[in-house]
Amino acid sequence: MNEIVRFIEGRQVSAGEDSYYDLPGLTDEATSLYDHCTRAIKKGLRFGSHGLPLMGSGDWNDGMNKVGEEGKGESVWMGFFLYTVLMQFAEIARLKSDMPFAELCNKEAVQLQQSIERDGWDGHGTVVHILMTVLH
């Protein structure tokens, strides 16, 4: 996690585009792999009106290309994935003595679990509780 890694850089997706194909370049900026991970997690903490992660748009051939159209699509599946990342990375942050980030991960995971249980299901909640317990 202390390995120093450079960033890649490409142009922003223009208005009206879902994606583009290009070869990104390497930037001069470099930082630890740990820092790359914390930045990626923070970037992923974007939620919609139900407190579920925003899906964004996907590659046309994965069948998810319209889910996040207009920046509004939320995903229960992404919620499960993000919950797992947050819980597991909180442990890594603790090992790195980064208690503020470990606490952020735990706080966000709790809020996410509540959002999934409240708005991600048909009101029975049992399956979500079991899955969240298994993931935790």
| Residues with catalytic roles | 62
- What is the rounded CA–CA span in Å between residue 54 and residue 3? 30
* Paired tokens of 79: 């919620």
**Distance between start and end Cα atoms, the chain:** 23
Supply the Cα-derived Rg of the chain in whole angstroms: 17
Closest listed residue to residue 70, CA positions, set 115, 15, 120: 15
Looking at the chain, list the stretches that DSSP marks H as alpha helix, in order from N- to C-terminal side. 33-44, 76-95, 99-119, 126-135
